[in-house]
Structure 1
Amino acid sequence: MQQVPEPHRGWTFITSHARVLAAIADDPNARIRDIAARCRLTERAVARIISDLEESGYLSHTRVGRTNTYRIEPDKVLRHPAEAGLPVAALLSLLVQDETARTLAPAAQTDRLQTTG
């Protein structure tokens, strides 16, 4: 499991719904407990958000034994009129990184700062 960031107070740019969706995109088999830890939310809040996303058609799940496997509908458009026509996949492309990019990003950032400074 990845390292969980420290808690944050104040406003943020990304909603809890987007965070949960990105966590699921990173790991479609993630447990609610793991999603909650990653997103710094309660398990109850994550369950409610997943329910919201399923009711709105952005997400579905299948149950295999005790495990849920989630499926995101990438072509479903975002809800707000300001993002009219923008699919969920576009949002997730900004929020989700594969493990290689996540591991290499801090080193690449440091290298770039050292070469420009």
Structure 2
Amino acid sequence: MDRAPEPHAGWTFLTNHSRVLAAIAQNHTTRVRDIAARCRLTERAVLKIIADLEEGGYLAHVRQGRSNVYRVAPDSPLRHPADAPATVAELLAILVHHESGRSAAATGEARKAP
């Protein structure tokens, strides 16, 4: 069931497209359901974003049994002219670094809990 995440008012620094791409880059066999939960989006929104990323040449997938295996195009340039000449790989490097710091902080907090 597609459970709508809590609403967010205002703007954010990252787009939902970048969040979904980062989730896929960290796990190439992740499920749409897991991406939706991680990015706090509906599954329908994630499917639309994946379609956008595939149409733009930033992402491709291959069916393996009942699962999808995604391939990110790391050398693709970012879409906005102001971001030139940055690539998807450079963006993902920043986001993965952020995620690893966040995971380490969560692990540290879990160890502190009684």
TM-score (norm 2): 0.80
Residue 102 of structure 1: CA displacement? 4.2
Aligned identity (percent) is: 62
CA distance in structure 2 between the partners assigned to 1:103 and 1:80 by the alignment: 30
Name the counterpart of 1:114.
Answer: none
Give the Cα separation in 2 of the matches to 1:98 and 1:64: 30
Residues 73-105 of structure 1: per-residue CA shift (max 9 Å, x gap): 000000100011211000000101498654434
Aligned residue number for residue 41 of structure 1: 41
Q: Provide structure 1 residue ranges, at least 5 long, that are not aligned to the other structure.
A: 1-5, 109-117
Alpha carbons of structure 1 residues 81 and 91: separation in structure 2 relative to 1, 3 Å: same
Partner of 1:69: 69
> 8 Å contact 1:76–1:88 — kept in the other structure?
yes
Give the unaligned 5+ runs of structure 2: 1-5, 109-114
Aligned mates of 1:100, 1:35 — CA distance in 2: 17
> Any conservation in 2 of the 1:59–1:72 contact (CA below 8 Å)?
yes
Q: Is the 8 A contact 1:58 1:72 kept in 2?
A: yes
